Structure 1
Amino acid sequence: MDFSKNILETIGNTPLVKLNKIVAEIDALVLAKVETFNPGNSVKDRMAVKMIEDAEADGRLKPGGTIIEGTSGNTGMGLALVAIIKGYKLICVISDKQSKEKMDILRAVGAKVVVCPTDVEPTDPRSYYSVSKRLAEETPNSWYVNQYDNMSNSLAHYEQTGPEIWKQTDGKITHFVVGVGTGGTISGVGKFLKEKNPNIKIWGIDTYGSVFKKYHETGIFDENEIYSYITEGIGEDILPKNVDFSLIDGFTKVTDKDAAVYTRKIALEEAIFVGNSAGACIKGLLQLKEHFKPDDVVVVLFHDSGSRYVGKMFNDDWMRERGFLEENITKAEDVIKDHIDKQLIVVRTEELVSHAIERMRKYKISQIPVVDINGFVGSVDETDLFRSYVADKNVAEKPIKEVMGKPFPIVKLGTPIEEVSRLFTKENDAVLVDLGNGNHHIITKYDIIGSIK
């Protein structure tokens, strides 16, 4: 019989898959190392086992101990699998920008999850680096993994991932492209491949808001480059010890939007359901296309599964809110199509100002049309109401007709978006759309800004 003694024995030997449509403009053979075939659905399973085994061997991790780690989710999953099999407890410290799916999965496999804010300095006591260290100091019989500076991370890829890629390409690989976060994958694989053939080029994919690219090119750690970004799993605001810059031939940076858009393209064009860093890698690969020749063999690593981003990159509403969804917005109906079924909130001329304020709070809106038996006769805006209140504290008990402004302009569903936009002025913050069935919908400046790509 052919079986594994436990789930950990299924880690590794992931497939190499030829990419076709999505890399059609690249004049080389492009192969994806699809790490979602690991049991924890990411490349991090490899180093999770290695780091724990090495810590057991030198006594840092003792029987019955608690493993503590700051993670973007995937390392936590790998550690959880090992912890279950080997009988350890696990605490994962994760930043609040990570997907809800990642947090839910970690809890599902028995980890305690501690969520920390993203937009703080690494040295801030609230950062997930600081919280991880503090928990390790406070928790008896615990071991802080520290995947960033734990050299077993890159060693796992030197011993496993690199040799697999070399064997699968029959030693013909010419370029390796991968997103860089902790640096373990690019450094471990890069070291092995360059020992086999020093001419192999190693390219790192970075993101805007991260320090890697500039530091590699200039040796300057520029704190001005550090700001919050959406892309998960790559980029850093620190320099992990696992990043061996001497092994890396170059970096290219990819925007949050491009990473998200290409994550979806991989699923639609190659039928490979992978995560956010894979999208960044493919866009980065296209940005580097002039470096590749027809006889080259380019290997790009797909880090994790798309299942961890269902509520983010694979969710139309999430993409639309950030202006990432590639839609052709040309008419008024395109702007409102996703919420056209929502009821138009109105206020009547004889209602009190307090009623309008209550509706603004309840529905979280800033503009309301005013109606009487004849139709639309005016409008109220939160800014105007605020000014009226400053001038007269008793305004809340006055009828709307005493404070209302001019009615909002009305357009048809097919009105070009350029024409709609011209109707917004200093005095007018909304436009009504006639739905043609006796009903109307509202377009605000926020809707127009959200439609800009």
Structure 2
Amino acid sequence: MQYAKNILETIGNTPLVKLNSITEEIDSLILAKVETFNPGNSVKDRMALKMIDDAEADGRLKPGGTIIEGTSGNTGMGLALVAIVRGYKLICVISDKQSKEKMDILRAVGAEVIVCPTNVEPDDPRSYYSVSKRLATETPNSWYVNQYDNPSNSLAHYEQTGPEIWEQTDGKITHFVAGVGTGGTISGVGKFLKEKNPNIKIWGIDTYGSVFKKYHETGIFDENEIYPYITEGIGEDILPKNVNFDIIDGFTKVTDKDAAVFTRKLAIEEGIFCGNSAGSAIKGLLQLKKHFKKEDVVVVLFHDHGSRYVGKMFNDDWMRERGFLDEEITKAIDLIKDRVGNQLVTAKTEELVSHAIERMRTHDISQIPVEDQNGFVGSIDESDLFRLYFEDKNIADKPIKEVMRKAFPIVNKDASIDKISNLIDKDNKAVLVDLENGTYQIITKYDVISAIR
């Protein structure tokens, strides 16, 4: 009989899969190392097991102990599998930009999940780096994993992932492409491959808002490059010790939009249902195509599974809200199609300004059309109310007709974006769209800006 003694024995030996449609513009053989076949559905299972093995061996992790780690979700899943099999408790500290699916999955496998804000400095006491370190000092019989600086991270890929790729390509690999977060995967695989053949090129995929690319090229850690980004699993605002910049030949950066769009393309065009960093990796590979020759064998690593992103990259509403869907927007109806059927928020001329203010607050809007029994006769804007308040502190108790400005222009649903843009200026903050069935919707400056691709 052939069977694994526990789930941990199924880690590794993931397949290489030839890419066809999405890489048709490249003549080289492009192979994907699909790490979703690991039991925790990500490449992080490998290093999670290795880090725990090594911590047990040297006594840092003792029986019945608590494992504590700051994670974007996938390392936490790998640690959870080992913790279940070996009887450890697990606390995962995760940033609030990570998908809800990741948080739910971690809780489903018994981890305690603590969520921290993303948009804070690494040394801020609220950051997931700081919170995980603090918990490790406060929790008896605990071990702080620290995947960023833990050498067992890259060693796992040096001992396992790199040899697998070398064997699977019969030593013919010429380029290895992978996203860079903690740096363990690219550094461990890269070190092994370069020891086998120093001519193999190692390319890292970075994201905008991360420091890796510029630091690699200039040696400068530029804090001006650090800003919030949507892409998960790659990029950092620190320099983890596991990133071996001497191993990496170069970086290319991929935008949040391209990462999301190509994550979906992988599923639709190749049938490979992977996560956000895979979209970054394949778009980065396409950006690097001038470096590949016809006879080359290029391996790109896909880190995790698409099931962790069904509420994000695989959700049309989420994509549309961020301008990531490549939809043709040329006329008024394109801007408001998601609101057709919703009731337009309006105010009456005889209502008090306080009523309009409450309506703005409730619906999170900045402009309201004003109407009477004859139709639209005026408009109010939050910037006007702000200015008028300093002229008259009793403005909230006045009727709207005393403070309203002229009515918003009305356009038909086929009006061009250019026409709408020309109508919106400092004196007129919105236009109304006649939907031809007795109903109207509003288009604001924000709607037009949101449509910019």
| Pairwise same-fold verdict (TM > 0.5) | yes
Letter aligned with residue 361 of structure 2? R
Q: Which residue of 2 aligns with 1:358?
A: 358
Taking the aligned partners of 2:227 and 2:354, their CA distance within structure 1 comes to: 41
1:439 aligns with 2:439: yes
Identity of aligned residues (%): 82
SS in 1 for 2:239: coil
1:278 aligns with 2:278: yes
SS in 2 for 1:76: helix
Q: Which residue of 2 aligns with 1:7?
A: 7
Letter aligned with residue 74 of structure 1? N
Deviation string 1:63-86 (CA, Å, 9 cap, x unpaired) is: 000000111110000000100010
RMSD: 1.2
1:212 aligns with 2:212: yes
- Return 220-229 or 43-52, whichever deviates more: 220-229
The Cα of 1:37 is off from its aligned counterpart by: 0.8
1:235 aligns with 2:218: no
Letter aligned with residue 120 of structure 2? V
Q: Which residue of 2 aligns with 1:161?
A: 161
1:100 aligns with 2:95: no
Say if 1:221 and 1:352 are closer, same or farther in 2 by CA, change over 3 A.
closer
The Cα of 1:97 is off from its aligned counterpart by: 1.4
Q: Which residue of 2 aligns with 1:401?
A: 401
1:313 aligns with 2:329: no
SS in 1 for 2:154: helix
Deviation string 1:302-340 (CA, Å, 9 cap, x unpaired) is: 000111111222222222222222111100000001121
Q: Which residue of 2 aligns with 1:200?
A: 200
Q: Which residue of 2 aligns with 1:260?
A: 260
Scaled by the length of structure 1, the TM-score of the pair is 0.98
Q: Where do 5+ consecutive residues of structure 1 fail to align?
A: none
Q: Which residue of 2 aligns with 1:121?
A: 121
Letter aligned with residue 138 of structure 1? E
The Cα of 1:444 is off from its aligned counterpart by: 0.9
The Cα of 1:250 is off from its aligned counterpart by: 1.1
- Return 28-37 or 213-222, whichever deviates more: 213-222
Taking the aligned partners of 2:271 and 2:213, their CA distance within structure 1 comes to: 31
- Return 292-301 or 94-103, whichever deviates more: 94-103
Taking the aligned partners of 1:217 and 1:396, their CA distance within structure 2 comes to: 58
SS in 2 for 1:257: helix
The Cα of 1:104 is off from its aligned counterpart by: 1.2
Taking the aligned partners of 2:339 and 2:310, their CA distance within structure 1 comes to: 21
Taking the aligned partners of 2:357 and 2:50, their CA distance within structure 1 comes to: 60
The Cα of 1:448 is off from its aligned counterpart by: 0.8
Deviation string 1:176-230 (CA, Å, 9 cap, x unpaired) is: 0000111111111111111211111111111122121122222222222222221
Taking the aligned partners of 1:362 and 1:131, their CA distance within structure 2 comes to: 35
Taking the aligned partners of 1:393 and 1:133, their CA distance within structure 2 comes to: 50
Letter aligned with residue 59 of structure 1? G
Taking the aligned partners of 1:355 and 1:228, their CA distance within structure 2 comes to: 36
Taking the aligned partners of 1:87 and 1:147, their CA distance within structure 2 comes to: 20
Say if 1:367 and 1:32 are closer, same or farther in 2 by CA, change over 3 A.
same
Letter aligned with residue 378 of structure 1? G
Scaled by the length of structure 2, the TM-score of the pair is 0.98
The Cα of 1:249 is off from its aligned counterpart by: 1.1
Taking the aligned partners of 1:107 and 1:147, their CA distance within structure 2 comes to: 20
Letter aligned with residue 413 of structure 1? K
Deviation string 1:107-150 (CA, Å, 9 cap, x unpaired) is: 11111111122222222222211111111111100001111111
SS in 2 for 1:333: helix
Check conservation: 2:93, 2:113, Cα contact below 8 A.
yes
Check conservation: 2:339, 2:441, Cα contact below 8 A.
no
SS in 1 for 2:338: coil
The Cα of 1:174 is off from its aligned counterpart by: 0.8
Q: Which residue of 1 aligns with 2:249?
A: 249
Say if 1:383 and 1:299 are closer, same or farther in 2 by CA, change over 3 A.
same
Letter aligned with residue 202 of structure 2? I
Check conservation: 1:320, 1:450, Cα contact below 8 A.
no
Letter aligned with residue 195 of structure 1? E
SS in 2 for 1:130: helix
Q: Where do 5+ consecutive residues of structure 2 fail to align?
A: none
The correspondence of residues 23-172 of structure 1 with structure 2, limited to 5 A, is 23-172=23-172
The Cα of 1:351 is off from its aligned counterpart by: 1.9
Say if 1:212 and 1:388 are closer, same or farther in 2 by CA, change over 3 A.
closer
Q: Which residue of 1 aligns with 2:226?
A: 226
SS in 1 for 2:202: strand
SS in 1 for 2:411: strand
Taking the aligned partners of 2:316 and 2:67, their CA distance within structure 1 comes to: 37
The Cα of 1:296 is off from its aligned counterpart by: 0.6
SS in 2 for 1:149: coil
The Cα of 1:387 is off from its aligned counterpart by: 2.8
Taking the aligned partners of 1:135 and 1:61, their CA distance within structure 2 comes to: 15
- Return 38-47 or 128-137, whichever deviates more: 128-137
